[in-house]
Amino acid sequence: MASTTQKRQPKQTNLSDDVHSQENRHLSSLLSSLSHIRIFAMRRPKPQCLTKENWLLHNVTSTTKEKWCLQFIYQQFTDEDGESPSEAYWKWAENGWNDSKPHRFPLGRKAGKPLYSLWNGKRLGYIEARKTIYAPLYAKYVEQTDAYKKLNDIYIKYCCGDMNDKQKRPMALLDFDGWDHLGQGYSLEEVIDKEKPKMGHAFVLAGLLENNLFWLSEPEKSTAEELRKGGELLKDI
């Protein structure tokens, strides 16, 4: 059950009906509430109970994160000092920003590990870059889209509304870089601080829908969440 896997190293996988079936959800405090959004790995086996009749299933796969990848500084894109971004980097990044065609892996799947991310002249580590670049920028812009507004309406109506309990269903987001964090006993705050598995944008969507801006620190986090309750968008906060 979910409670027995809470302390294990998380994996990019999906757990089974033993955890996610309606009969067993009460065994996990994270899964017992429908306000918590489930996230599943798109290309991994999924629980048999995960059907459109029983769940609010939404495929949120996207290539949006490719632009974030252009902030990565790889060894091959450094000057003679082995750290500073070279002219070749700036040319590569500019071409990427101007390319309207999506490339999920701008340097290919075997690009290696970047040295750091460059943002406003600062060199950020992997986790720090998630919190400073990836999550806040994606949240700010996706929140303004019609697709997000539609998803939010569905979440409020079927997961948080006052309708008969029999009509309520859990919401599940499917993502290439998603993984069953709730089934493995991890909160969103814990997910963002782990290098592995990867944190796909489905986690940011879940945070927006739940109004849990888990990439922010206090007191900024509580202030922004309270303003969003009043209808403010992140772009105006």
- Locate the DSSP E strands across 13-53: 38-41
pTM listed for this prediction:
0.89
In terms of DSSP bridges, do strands 122-124 and 116-119 run parallel, antiparallel, or are they unpaired? antiparallel
Check residue 187 and give its pLDDT: 96
Over pLDDT 90: what percentage of the chain?
Answer: 70
pLDDT reported for residue 1? 43
Q: Which residue has the tokens 């033993």?
A: 18
Question: C-alpha distances in angstroms, 95 versus 24, 46, 195?
Answer: 50, 38, 28
**What is the residue-wise DSSP string for 49-110?**
T--TTTSEEEE---STTHHHHTTEE-GGGB-TTSSSBPHHHHHHHHHHHH--S--SSTT-TT
pLDDT tens, residue order, the chain (237 aa):
444 444 578 988 999 999 998 888 888 878 888 889 999 999 999 999 999 888 999 999 875 656 778 899 999 999 999 999 999 999 999 988 888 776 666 776 677 889 999 999 999 999 999 999 999 999 999 999 999 999 999 999 988 866 656 678 899 999 999 999 999 999 999 999 999 999 999 999 999 999 999 999 999 999 999 999 999 999 999
Q: Residue 112's pLDDT is what?
A: 82
pLDDT of residue 26: 82
Per-residue pLDDT, 8 = 74
SS3 10: coil
CA dist 218 and 68 (Å) reads 24
Whole-number Å distance between alpha carbons of 58 and 52: 9
